[in-house]
Amino acid sequence: MKAAQIMSFGTPDVLRVTETETPTPGAGEVLVAVEASSVNGHDTMVRAGGLKLVLGRKVPMGTGLDFAGVVVEIGTGVAGFRAGDRVWGMVHPRRRHTTAAAAEYVVVAADRIGLAPAGVSAIEAASLVVTGSTALIALRESVGLAGGERVLVRGAAGGVGTAAVQLAHAMGGHVTALARGRHAAALRDLGADEVLDYGTTTAEEIGPFDVILDTVGSELNCYRSRLAKGGRMVTVGLSAPALAAIAASAIHGSRRIRTFSANPGSAVLDDTADYVTSGALRPIVHSVYPLADIAAAHQAFEHGGVLGKHVLAVSS
């Protein structure tokens, strides 16, 4: 099978699409023929060498966190899925994979997949696996968003941001989106009640908010100060400075900066699929690349500034 692999750590040109053996599912696992995957911050961080302490230094290493495709083989002990099922899911983000989701086939634990939402293509589904589940966990579990609360989504035009705007709206929040001004109309269409241009708006000029969902990972203390009494903040944009800010914010109790590892199982994927099927969560795909052009997809992701996701078309 064809699979994208990291041959050494560095810039996108270390990625290669190679021929390798098709994996075989073990007990509790399924083999999925991948139709689409997407590019996420986790992928670029692994490729650049930022997770060597967790994943080790051995290369070649697989790349690609999420996928949508079709089950082709079931391992022993798997219930609830069968060959031919259209599914979506994620490989485990904290385990090293020789080949991962950016490949023609992927083996994954059955409790890390769900039935793909009806009414969307594999390309569209792949754009929502990480983004939709991450936004759902952040809003529902990390900060417990309630109807009527004022929500700020910082970095609202990105993958997680566009999902968060939609889900916060669906949960009854009053949503303020902070993003590039040129994305204002699209974000209002997704459910934002207000859109602020981050290029001309400072943190000191906005708020207070009951909930802040940050996808950027910088100036965290400044934005945390815009919380109302009893407000909650969560960030999914992790870096060394962000981790320091998160740790230091513990003195603020419930108004601290929270974070989490987005590692959804089948239940969260099923809940995300329900939002998609109902129309409350729509896929926002900016561009589609063939698997052979994965380096260009990584470059585009790191350049930023777009609305929605970069997706890899693996097979049809």
- Looking at residue 206, its amino acid is I
Give CA–CA dist 131/224, Å, rounded.
Answer: 23
Domain shared by 190 and 81, yes or no? no
Angle at 180 between CA 179 and CA 184, to 5 degrees: 80
Containing structural domain, residue 299: 2-127+283-313
Residue 272 covered by a domain: no
Residue 274 covered by a domain: no
Check pLDDT > 70 for residue 89: yes
Check pLDDT > 80 for residue 262: no
pLDDT > 70: what percent of the chain?
Answer: 99
Domain shared by 83 and 150, yes or no? no
Q: How confident is the model at residue 124 (pLDDT cuts 50, 70, 90)?
A: very high
Return the CATH number at 28.
3.90.180.10
Return the CATH number at 181.
3.40.50.720
151-200: pLDDT as tens digits: 999 999 999 999 999 999 999 999 999 999 999 999 999 999 999 999 89
Residue 196 covered by a domain: yes
pTM: 0.95
Domain shared by 209 and 224, yes or no? yes
Residue 104 covered by a domain: yes
Residue 116 covered by a domain: yes
Give CA–CA dist 29/75, Å, rounded.
Answer: 5
Give CA–CA dist 200/98, Å, rounded.
Answer: 44
Look at residues 116, 125, 115 and name the one whose alpha carbon lies nearest to residue 80: 115
Give CA–CA dist 245/288, Å, rounded.
Answer: 35
Domain shared by 101 and 136, yes or no? no
Domain shared by 166 and 186, yes or no? yes
Domain shared by 145 and 122, yes or no? no
